[in-house]
Structure 1
Amino acid sequence: MPAFLLAIAILVVVHEYGHYWVARRCGVRVLRFSLGFGKPFWSRRDAHGTEWSVAPIPLGGYVSMLDEREGPVPPELLNEAFNTKPVGQRIAVVLAGPIANLLLAVLLYAGLAMVGSSVRIPLLVTPTAGSMAALAGVNGGERILAIGGRETPGWGDVRWELLRQLAGGRMPCL
């Protein structure tokens, strides 16, 4: 459960930060950036007047912007209200969250492609004396190269080939 909440928190922060970043670039006053819903248990105000907060219900978040539809806006701040911005800027602010999540996914997949994944080599352990494996001549340390003529470079491949071979009723191993 903690890993799930951490993953959700990361996705929410990236998404909401996309809205926040583009809103600020478009001159929109951001009133609050919140991770979570409910009464905040932590909050701080930055130099731009944005309140950064963390609330107890971690299933989402939001960016609250100055907007005449939410309440009266002082005349001197009208140029910073979301609803007074050109349509193109409002569309950019709205789309920035999903685009930020898309960029995160691209970066994560690119990182995984660069790092790769480790493959655990399928080596057999020393069998218990008198076991079927010991009687079959397994000493331990042998590498499983193939099952049913198909190469098995990793334990995942061994597992799938064993299942496939078991379903077919035969299992020659090399």
Structure 2
Amino acid sequence: MNALYMILGTLVALGVLVTFHEFGHFWVARRCGVKVLRFSVGFGTPLLRWHDRHGTEFVVAAIPLGGYVKMLDEREGEVPAELLDQSFNRKPVRQRIAIVAAGPIANFLLALLFFWVLAMLGSQQVRPVIG
């Protein structure tokens, strides 16, 4: 039973980590004016799928070991003329760097949050006091 808890805990932890990582890319891309076509957590068969008012497709897939954010990009296919200003490859280099770096930065901020929560919870162990 412990092995099952370990596997389930690992999948949940990876799912949270991947979700925050991809959300970092997603959030900065939206702020920079890039059209996001798909936000996916997991690979394989989609379990849940929905669209928001911006036309982004959100997907939760069966295997939670990764994810991706698909943005509008002329290098991947034809882009309508009215959407060229929302294409990733048309953005300035600083914005593209910010979008790419946002995922690891989001993971770092999540780690800081977790360490802060652990520090606030404190330790319930007996102190080794002599005398």
Q: Quote the offset at 1:118 in angstroms.
A: 1.2
Is 1:118–2:124 an aligned residue pair?
A: yes
How far apart are the structure 2 equivalents of 1:108 and 1:59? 20
What is aligned with 1:106? Answer: 112
Q: Quote the offset at 1:41 in angstroms.
A: 2.1
Percent of counterpart pairs with the same letter? 61
Q: Report 1 or 2 for greater relative contact order, CA contacts < 8 Å, sequence distance ≥ 6.
A: 2
How far apart are the structure 2 equivalents of 1:13 and 1:22? 14
Aligned length: 124
- Higher helix fraction: Structure 1 or Structure 2? 2
TM-score, with length taken from structure 2: 0.90
Mapping of residues 26-45 of structure 1, within 5 Å:
26-45=32-51
TM-score, with length taken from structure 1: 0.68
> What CA RMSD, in Å, does the superposition of the two structures yield over aligned residues?
1.4
Q: Quote the offset at 1:6 in angstroms.
A: 0.3
Runs of 4+ more than 6 Å apart: none
What is aligned with 2:12? Answer: 6
Mapping of residues 75-114 of structure 1, within 5 Å:
75-114=81-120
Amino acid at match of 1:74: P
Which shows bigger deviation, 83-92 or 36-45? 36-45
Mapping of residues 1-174 of structure 1, within 5 Å:
1-119=7-125, 121=126, 152=128
SS at the partner of 1:56? strand
Q: Quote the offset at 1:152 in angstroms.
A: 3.3
How far apart are the structure 2 equivalents of 1:39 and 1:69? 26
Q: Quote the offset at 1:39 in angstroms.
A: 2.8
Amino acid at match of 1:5: L
How far apart are the structure 1 equivalents of 2:119 and 2:11? 25
For structure 2, which runs of at least 5 residues remain unmatched after alignment?
1-6
Output one character per residue of 1:59-82: Cα deviation in whole Å (capped at 9) or x when no partner.
100000000011000000000000
